[in-house]
Amino acid sequence: QVQLVESGGGLVQAGGSLRLSCAASGRTFSSYVIGWFRQAPGTEREFVSTIRWSDGNTKYADSAKGRFTISRDNAKNTVYLQMNSLKPEDTAVYYCAGRQGLSYYSSAFYPYWGQGTQVTVSS
């Protein structure tokens, strides 16, 4: 059973930084893609970034490019999302998600999800 556990959310001022962590367990993740999605109140869950565990290939939403960096630590089975230059519009619950195979931008393709971590950016 795949388990994904997020941590690292919190309250930060605009322009600040946070690092989210997603600890993965239950499988060997070499064939998996791990992604970050976010959902603000009243909106749909949206793609932020993904990383392919096998080779570290990454994808980013336009809103994340240049500000967010996704990475993985194989020894810890953990994926990170370093978020810099945060803006109030980044406020959302951030979810870690996983799937085998290809990376998709749609959350519908990911069967495994963490419980989410709240990120609040004040202006």
**Digit-coded pLDDT (tens) for 26-52:** 988 889 999 999 999 999 999 999 999
pLDDT of residue 55: 93
The yes-or-no verdict on residue 16 having pLDDT over 90 is yes
Helices (H) and strands (E) in the chain, counts: 0, 11
- At 12 the pLDDT is 98
Q: Give the pLDDT confidence of 69-102 residue by residue, as tens digits.
A: 999 999 999 999 999 999 999 999 999 999 999 9
Cα–Cα distance measured from residue 11 to residue 1, given in angstroms and rounded to the nearest whole number: 32
**Residue 9 confidence class, pLDDT cut points 50, 70, 90:** very high
